Amino acid sequence: MEYHRECLYNVEWQKLRMSLLGSWRSNIQDTTASITALRQYTSYGSAYYSERVWRVLNLLNAVLLSYAQIAKKVRPASTSVGQDTIEVVTSWRDHFSKEHAAHPLPKDAKWDWSTVAEDIKKADKIFIARLKANLGRRRKTALYRGKDPSVTRPELTIFLQMLEAYGQ
């Protein structure tokens, strides 16, 4: 598997990511508040800085992709996305892209799934249920595209299995 994909399944990161769902299209104030939360998460000198920067960059790229899908009418939107919101997200994506270039993920790193298992055991059961539902939808999306998620996203499959095992 690939470390840059596995490290997205950190429980603390998933809590933050889930807390930001829906905040990217509502208004510029909510988007700015989300960016502030991401900046706090990646405060320089924080533990595992390069992983944190990579997670944030990955998220902002996904947000921008969703904006493009809305613009092309591929994805329905309950609200339109203002140009000011797109510019703010793009600017911060560019910032985190530069940070990632300056602080790349460690080469040959191995993801510690046992730490993830311990974090899942300590997590709130309601959060685990919400996370399982959210990531389960991502898995279904891959299936709709005709791809087997256990092949295309094996780390997602492992994480969902862990949530199932430990989150009961």
In the chain, where the domains are located: 1-107, 112-168
Q: What percent of the chain has pLDDT over 90?
A: 63
Question: Do 18 and 131 touch, CB atoms closer than 8 A?
Answer: yes
Per the listing, tokens 């889930």 go with 18
The 10s digit of each residue's pLDDT in 2-40 is 899 999 999 999 999 999 998 887 688 999 999 999 999
The reported pTM is 0.89
The pLDDT value recorded for residue 116 is 96
Q: What percent of the chain has pLDDT over 70?
A: 83
Crossing angle for the helix pair 11-20 and 113-122, nearest 10 degrees?
60
Question: Distance from CA of residue 163 to its chain's centroid?
Answer: 16
The pLDDT value recorded for residue 152 is 67
The 10s digit of each residue's pLDDT in 86-128 is 899 999 999 999 999 999 999 899 999 999 999 999 999 999 9
**Nearest 10 degrees: CA dihedral of 154, 160, 166, 168?**
-160
8 Cβ contact partners less than 8 Å away, ≥ 6 residues apart: 55, 58, 155
* 168 band by pLDDT with thresholds 50, 70 and 90: low
